[in-house]
Structure 1
């Protein structure tokens, strides 16, 4: 499932090229997850887990930590309204997954084995466009305010999503999908507004709600998209014979998602309060104060443990992006070509099911496991399980290829069970973020290290869907290894992650009590530079 694009500001070098200073707007800084250093340079409150839907995720820094007081209550109404606005981006992104393969096949008159390439291309271009414009949204938010940018981006997503359902050619699909990526800046703005509304003591709760809202969006998006795609064929008693739905079979799904976006526009415009002014009157570091980080990228990468943790961050991101891109194509492809032959509705239900399973693993099981075993142990267990999770996909196809009633029964016993258990590998998404927290040398390097991690993950997301869906198309078209080529590649890639987790640094080999001790130290330390990860 998926990471956010990098949001770091401009970079300047000194004459020796040994030092680097990064000037980051508060919005961009808040969109970066704070990397809490494991050394003595800074103390921090680090919750055990955060929720993720498409891969490693990041939580924003708190830009107003200096001015906030511990007794300030969390404005729950505002946080909930912002969480509703946060729903729109994942709903819009994931709503097309159940039917995009069928849509590209019909719009491009493609052979079944070729549809994976174009669906992956559409996904990749969305991510690349989103990555390129995030910084611009950040600068606009600092200049004109959070609320206007939030409302404008939500309007853009609604228009682009509605337009996508009327596309009749592949170039039109690409155009409207890229347009949606351009306006996908709402997630950054929402993150910053939540950060500005919360304190060090309340931001853990605020960003837990933020993460849950994202998972709800991942859950709802495929359900809406699959349930309403091609209604003339899915619900012939109601929609068959209506020219509009037969000419534009995917318009209903897109229009409903756009309507949800419009409700978020109205709610945001009427009830969400501007937050930019909250930090402009405080003492010390304010919303208009850039953060200066005197460490060079070269020196940071040479810091103990940083390189291997960044590698694991990128590796697990690549696995997540590849799986998210390939699975809908695999489920849509016919059984004889190496897929499961599912309808858009069935795909949407399974996507929602796996999203729910991931959320349960992250919310219910990860915190006690991390507390008892430590971050590295959880990561290594996930690394061990990952190859088996990838390998179950061709097994499921092999069961269906028998084309027997008994095989169908076995499949529907195995598939939900294995998908639910296998979704536990999603704990590695949060685990690798905590490992990154621990390895940061100091507070001054937090934004730079986070920017490097986000740059790596967003770069991988820009090409991995097209690459891996193309590999699936090659395997399905040639029937090399019975169409299982992609799963052999992804199993080998997962084995690489199994190996790389064995080299995680000792900074994350912490006794279970360390987190609580650090929490108490953070509460008792009056250092205004203390940061928290929400």
Structure 2
């Protein structure tokens, strides 16, 4: 009896010191605006998003410098393989990292993910050939599995009334990272050519012209890695299947005979039953993941195609932009997206709901993308003005869609399954996003060779195919395909 009493005291001490319980208790009593949590999630997500697309503005020139493409029109094919290697690596490991996050906590996975950015993003900037670039990007994707756990973390660390804001923070930081990353890549690539008074051609940055943007992102990731050691853990790591704990819990029940304790025991038993449910059979989860994948395929293909289209020559239907010009457009887009997501999206989502917001954003994206080939016919200030407005609008609409699907996914499962659920989501999304750059690069190269075709010549075909994918995603947001979990 004394042994059981000691175990009961130990269990009580464990509950009082459980990181997840502390977070829940803090959230229950906290009434202020969760600015600290927003900043924490923001910098972690930004850290993992920056390296994903930072290469796109200079990837065309990087592939050219590797001398692997025999013709200029073939550069897009090889650029697609480099862009896809990251997503392929993440697709193979996302479920594993989700399971690790559910078993050992969100925090260890987050730390490993930020460390991988420091190491492999730096090595990518030092790539001397095509295969080194492929391998470093693949390893970066394989070890950077924190996006799924950080979404689970965001849904747990915020109170219910701020959950939309929390998941909006994830998608906003993700969207900003996918825009600021290319902006940094555009501004800082080839520094010896752009800033010859600061960087000589014989210096490290002259010999490795694409290392500077990668180094800046890796230094930021190093600072984020240090900061993540102070993140609170939100996962309850109570081992309910442990026999000694079960026995001590029974002793506590017999001693207290308290109705609240009985309720808690029933809740635990219910959680054990729920944990045995198959996530694959959870149609609200799976339908939201499939919709998310379709839109992710579109977004990743658009991200690569936009940069390739902007830097390609006018004779091929492009804009003849430099990497710096592309960086300026994407930096403006990032600022506009930041303002919208932090000020307007939570209000719009509260009024319309996540499904309706995603649906409307998808519909509006179609005529917007159809206008891009006609924007390329302009020049001077009118080109710059319209292109910036279109880019801001497109990125705002894309991130609104992704935020809505984030909310649906995390509402479709209980806390103890969120890591695995988001791991499944990341695996499926990564496969689609791996197809995005490869398919986008191939379609772009093919379209460049049909400038005089009678039907949708040149880049008109590229944006037509992007719109076809977007339309499929919009149609899938309707019932009976997409359903929400009943409260």
Q: TM-score, normalized by length of structure 2? A: 0.74
Partner residue, 1:168? 128
- 2:309 matched to 1:349? no
Give CA deviations for 1:26-76 in whole Å, capped at 9, x if unaligned. Answer: xxxxxxxxxxxxxxxxxxxxxxxxxxxxxxxxxxxx986996472256886
CA contact (8 A) 2:370 2:467 kept: yes
Aligned pairs (5 A) from 1:281-320: 285=268, 291-294=274-277, 297=280, 312-320=291-299
Task: Map residues 41-56 of structure 1 onto 2, 5 A cutoff.
Answer: none
Cα deviation per residue 1:416-475 (whole Å; 9 max; x = unaligned)? Answer: 23333444532333445567789x6x9799969877765543332121220121010111
* Equivalent-residue separation in structure 1 for 2:134 and 2:221 (angstroms): 20
Give the corresponding residue for 1:239.
199
Report the secondary structure of 1:239's partner residue.
Answer: coil
Partner residue of 2:28?
70
Higher-Rg structure is 2
1:18: which partner in 2? none
1:65 and 1:199 in contact (8 A); partners too: no
Structure 1 contact 137–149 (Cα < 8 Å) conserved: yes
Which deviations, in whole Å up to 9, do the C-alpha atoms of 1:89-137 show, x marking residues without a partner?
Answer: 1122222222122111211343332222222212212112112112333
1:92 aligns with 2:92: no
From 477, 490, 507, the equivalent of 2:466 is 490
Deviations 1:119-170 (A, max 9, x none): 2212212112112112333444566655444333322221101111111111
Q: Tell me, yes or no, if structure 1 residue 183 matches structure 2 residue 159.
A: no
Paired with 2:357 and 2:439, the residues of 1 have a C-alpha distance of 29
Q: CA deviation at 1:219?
A: 4.2
- Counterparts of 2:206 and 2:329 in 1: how far apart (Å)? 26
Q: Is the 8 A contact 2:148 2:422 kept in 1?
A: no
Residues 1:408 and 2:380 are matched in the alignment: yes
Cα distance in 2, alignment partners of residues 130 and 85 from structure 1: 17
Deviations 1:178-209 (A, max 9, x none): 11112212334444555554554665555454
TM-fit CA distance, 1:232:
0.4
CA gap 1:263/1:373 in 2 versus in 1, 3 angstroms = closer
Displacement of 1:350 in angstroms is 1.7
Superposition deviation, residue 241 in structure 1: 3.8
Give the superposition deviation at 1:245: 2.4
Provide the C-alpha distance between the structure 2 equivalents of 1:148 and 1:372, rounded to a whole number of angstroms: 37
Q: Cα distance 1:357–1:117, how it changes in 2: closer, same or farther (>3 A)?
A: farther
Name 1:328's counterpart in structure 2: 307
Q: SS state of the match for residue 197, structure 2?
A: helix
Q: 1:453 to 1:225 in 2, by over 3 A?
A: closer
Gaps of 5+ in 1: 1-61, 400-406, 510-528
Cα distance between partner residues in 2 of 1:154 and 1:162: 12
Q: What is the CA-CA distance between 1:476 and the residue it aligns to?
A: 0.9
* Other-structure match for 2:442: 470
CA distance in 2, matches of 1:497, 1:73: 38
Aligned residues of 2:92 and 2:427 also touching (Cα < 8 A): no
Partner of 1:386: 365
Q: 1:133 aligns with which of 89, 93, 96?
A: 93
2:215 to 249, 255, 262: 255
Q: What's the counterpart of residue 152 of structure 1?
A: 112
Give per-residue Cα distances to partners, 1:253-286, cap 9 Å, x unaligned: 22221111111222334x3455557766997559
2:432 is equivalent to residue 460 of structure 1: yes
Alpha-carbon separation, structure 1, partners of 2:325 and 2:349: 34
Alpha-carbon offset, residue 366 of structure 1? 4.1
SS state at 2:29 partner? coil
Matched, 1:395 2:354: no
CA gap of 1:344–1:310, structure 2 versus 1, over 3 A, is same
In the alignment, what sits opposite 2:317? 338
Q: CA contact under 8 A between 1:477 and 1:483: conserved in structure 2?
A: yes
CA deviation vs aligned residue, 1:219-265 (integer Å, no higher than 9, x gap):
43223222221100011121134342221111222222111111122
Q: Is the 8 A contact 1:70 1:200 kept in 2?
A: no
Which residue is 2:255 aligned to? none
Tell me, in whole angstroms, the C-alpha distance in 2 between the residues paired with 1:410 and 1:88: 34
Q: Report the CA distance shift for 1:292/1:250 in structure 2 as closer, same or farther (over 3 A).
A: same
Separation of aligned partners in 1, 2:426 and 2:380: 42
Q: CA deviation at 1:320?
A: 1.9
* In structure 1, C-alpha distance between the alignment counterparts of 2:347 and 2:41, rounded to whole Å: 29
Deviating more after overlay: 374-383 vs 218-227: 374-383
Q: Which moved more, 1:200-209 or 1:252-261?
A: 200-209
CA distance in 1, matches of 2:122, 2:24: 42
Can you give the 5+ residue segments of structure 2 that lack an aligned partner in the other structure?
1-18, 241-263
Alpha-carbon distance, 1:213 to partner:
3.6
Asked if the contact 2:168–2:346 (Cα under 8 Å) also holds between the matched residues in 1, the reply is no
Give the aligned partner of residue 116 of structure 1: 76
* CA shift in 2, pair 1:212/1:496, >3 Å: closer
User: Is the 1:94–1:218 Cα contact (8 Å) retained in structure 2?
Assistant: yes
- SS for the counterpart of 1:185 is coil
- 1:367 deviates by 4.4
Partner Cα distance (1:192, 1:432) in 2: 13
Mean Cα displacement is larger for which, 178-187 or 207-216?
207-216
Which structure 2 residues correspond to residues 271-290 of structure 1 after superposition, within 5 A? Answer: 271-273=230-232, 285=268
